[in-house]
Amino acid sequence: MNTFNPSQAFADFFFLAIDHGFASVENGGGPLVPFTMLVDPAGQRKLTRFAMDKLEDGVQAAKNSVAPTGATAMYAIAWDGFVTLEGRKWDAICVEAGETQAEFGVLFCQRYITAKKGLLRRTRSVRVGNPALIGNTPSRLWVGGGL
């Protein structure tokens, strides 16, 4: 596995995507509609959701939408999925993220559980631990040396 040493701007960006994904399911609003969060070279962010009949189709459409066009400096793709950690399968917000100047991106997952909270016993998602670095992924923006 490659050494992971993100810039502060990139770390802030992928944690923003994780937080946005979790906030979307936190108050029982899940499952998360897959989304991309893109940052252009000027620092402007754009969020696009991919609502499909099947969750996996939305995830694939989100992944297919990210390409090395020069118009994107960083990307994050988020979806509601599962991760197995410590021998247990968990619900998780998964975020793949990458940037133009790096050959490899990352896959993080934020585990969560569903719990009943409050007087009316509403369902609510609760984070479990910190986001876990699952591994490196090829960056969808890498073009072999940058643009």
Per-residue pLDDT reduced to its tens digit, 100-122: 989 999 999 999 998 876 666 67
Residue 50 φ/ψ, nearest 5 degrees: -125, 80
pTM of this structure: 0.90
Q: Which helix (H) or strand (E) holds 76?
A: strand 74-85
Beta bridge partners of 133: 108
Per-residue pLDDT reduced to its tens digit, 56-111: 999 999 999 999 988 999 999 999 999 998 899 999 999 999 999 899 999 999 99
Banded model confidence at residue 28, pLDDT cuts 50, 70, 90: confident
